[in-house]
């Protein structure tokens, strides 16, 4: 989650779903940089090219992994509002405003309460999404516990006793995106987490599995259309929260 004043986002796609919330007024989204749609809440699925104009207004961005039951629930409840693959003016709009307002009023040390509120966007049923293929679960666990290792598709397939083609098919079926897109997004998330906790660009990039800080910067720019220095400069006063594995946070 990021909350603050961000520069407009140019036409890009991401490996996570994006929930965009305007507490103070409308933003605009475009899928082609020509036709623009006004909104206060929107859900943009992964791998959908889009631009967002914040026009200098305060914004809140929530990034949800495809495997998140919150994403599945939010998408399912807004199927009727789909517009060219994205979801505008969400049914949960008032609930989102309320939850985000509560989150923004929390103290910086209220991480447990923050997680509780984020996991209520929207409330999910007990029988939420569960990964069906244990082999894919093993691969996800390997990627997320050893992000610095650059496992090839062949390595991962052998680890899970699968063929490469079966791995690629099953991973996309279970997770919704190719494994390399999943790994890149996870590495981005880890690097940003480390940067926000005071680590240098070089150390944060290496720790998450990038070759160097330049590799991280190129990947970040390709994902968001801007260098990380433009978004995370100290004058922006962004409020952020990134959920990472406990082992990573404690290291």
pLDDT tens per residue, range 6-44: 889 999 999 999 999 999 899 999 999 999 999 999 999
Q: What is the pLDDT of residue 207?
A: 93
| Domain 131-251 CATH superfamily | Homeodomain-like (1.10.10.60)
Helix, strand, or coil here: 213?
Answer: helix
Q: What's the pLDDT at 153?
A: 94
Residue 110 has pLDDT above 80, yes or no: no
pLDDT value at 128 more than 60: no
Determine the Cα angle at 107 with ends 56 and 16, to 5°. 55
Q: Take residue 166 and report the two structure tokens written for it.
A: 């079966």
Instruction: Give tens-digit pLDDT for 132-183.
Output: 789 999 999 999 999 999 999 999 999 999 999 999 999 999 888 999 999 9
Tens-digit pLDDT profile for residues 50-89? 999 998 899 999 998 877 788 888 998 999 989 899 999 9
Residues of 151-188 as b/e, b for ≥16 C-beta within 10 angstroms?
bebeebbeebebeeeebbebbbebbbbebebbbbbbbb
Residue 205 tokens, joined: 């990039």
Q: How far is CA 136 from CA 14, 81, 131, 141, 156, in A?
A: 21, 32, 8, 9, 10
List the domain boundaries for the chain. 2-118, 131-251
Q: In what helix (H) or strand (E) does residue 187 lie, and over which residues does it extend?
A: helix 179-196
- The pTM (predicted TM-score) of the whole model is 0.84
pLDDT attached to residue 114: 82
The pLDDT of residue 98 is 92
3-class SS of residue 38: strand
Per-residue pLDDT tens digits for 202-221: 999 999 999 999 999 999 99
Q: Report the SS3 class of residue 116.
A: helix
Contacts of 67 (CB under 8 A, 6+ apart): 129, 131, 140, 174, 175, 176
The pLDDT value given to residue 251? 62
- How far apart CA 145 and CA 142 sit, in angstroms, is 5
Q: Lowest-pLDDT range, 57-61, 234-238, 245-249?
A: 234-238
CATH match of 2-118 with 2.60.120.280: yes
């Amino acid at each position: 989650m990021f909350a603050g004043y961000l520069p407009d986002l140019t036409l890009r796609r991401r490996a996570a779903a994006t929930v965009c919330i305007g507490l103070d007024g409308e933003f605009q989204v475009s899928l082609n940089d020509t036709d623009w749609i006004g909104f206060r809440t929107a859900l943009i699925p992964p791998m959908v090219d889009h631009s967002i104009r914040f026009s200098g207004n305060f914004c809140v961005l929530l990034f949800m992994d495809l495997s998140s039951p919150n994403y599945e629930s939010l998408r399912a409840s807004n199927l009727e509002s789909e517009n060219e693959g994205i979801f505008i003016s969400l049914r949960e709009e008032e609930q989102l405003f309320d939850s985000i307002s509560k989150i923004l009023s929390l103290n910086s040390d209220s991480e447990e309460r923050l997680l509780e509120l984020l996991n209520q966007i929207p409330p999910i049923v007990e029988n939420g999404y569960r990964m069906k293929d244990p082999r894919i679960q093993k691969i996800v666990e390997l990627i997320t516990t050893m992000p610095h290792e650059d496992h090839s598709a062949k390595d991962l397939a052998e680890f899970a006793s699968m063929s490469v083609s079966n791995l690629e098919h099953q991973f996309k079926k279970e997770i919704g995106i190719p494994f390399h897109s999943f790994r890149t997004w996870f590495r981005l998330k880890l690097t940003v987490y480390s940067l926000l906790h005071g680590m240098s660009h070089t150390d944060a990039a290496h720790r998450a599995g990038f070759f160097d800080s330049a590799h991280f910067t190129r990947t970040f720019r390709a994902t968001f259309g801007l260098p990380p220095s433009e978004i995370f400069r100290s004058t922006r006063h962004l409020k952020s929260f990134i959920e990472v594995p406990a082992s990573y946070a404690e290291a």
